[in-house]
Amino acid sequence: MGILDQRNLGYKELDYTVFPSEEKTIEVQDDETYGGAHLYRIKLSEGFKDGKTIYTEDFNYIQFVQKDDDGSVTPGLQSEQLAYVLLDRAKKLNARFPSPQNEKQIAGLQMFLDACK
């Protein structure tokens, strides 16, 4: 079943928020084997207005590669691919808007990627 077929199946809200917002905007498709670890649904943001994060009612989906016990595979991203995207973005944003927070993000992502090797 492809990602388009799975978009309306059961999702559970994750208990994560993006600072400074307190709104929970990340969900994962629940499954019996992993408890949800492969298909994520994330509410889109329009950025900040008047000091508050603005979220839309639209979602983006992230499908990670999933190998089932029967050997079938659902193609998707590897965790490292997503981390490299985040690392590339953090480096480019830091080049434009240098900050200690950006440097911490870069160091943390590099640490994650080193641990994956």
For every residue of 51-101, DSSP letters joined together read TEEEEEEEEEEEEBPEE-TTS-EE--B-HHHHHHHHHHHHHHHHHHS--HH
**Tally of structural domains, the chain:** 2
Residues 70 and 98 in one domain: no
Residues 86 and 72 in one domain: no
The mean pLDDT of 46-58, rounded to a whole number, is 93
Residues 24 and 14 in one domain: yes
The mean pLDDT of 75-102, rounded to a whole number, is 98
- Of 31, 35, 28, 36, the C-alpha closest to 11 is 28
pLDDT tens for residues 70-88?
Answer: 999 999 999 999 999 999 9
Alpha-carbon gap, residue 105 to 117, rounded angstroms: 19
Residues 40 and 92 in one domain: no
Residues 20 and 55 in one domain: yes
The single residue listed with the structure tokens 């670890």 is 37
C-alpha dihedral, 69 to 74 to 45 to 93, nearest 10°: 100
Residues 72 and 113 in one domain: no
Residues 18 and 40 in one domain: yes
Asked whether 61 and 7 are in contact (CB, 8 A), the reply is yes
Residues 64 and 18 in one domain: yes
pLDDT tens for residues 16-32?
Answer: 999 899 999 999 999 98
Residue-range definition of the domain harbouring residue 29: 1-77
Quote the pLDDT of residue 51.
87
Beta pairing class for 52-63 and 26-29: unpaired
Residues 4 and 60 in one domain: yes
pLDDT beyond 60 at 3: no
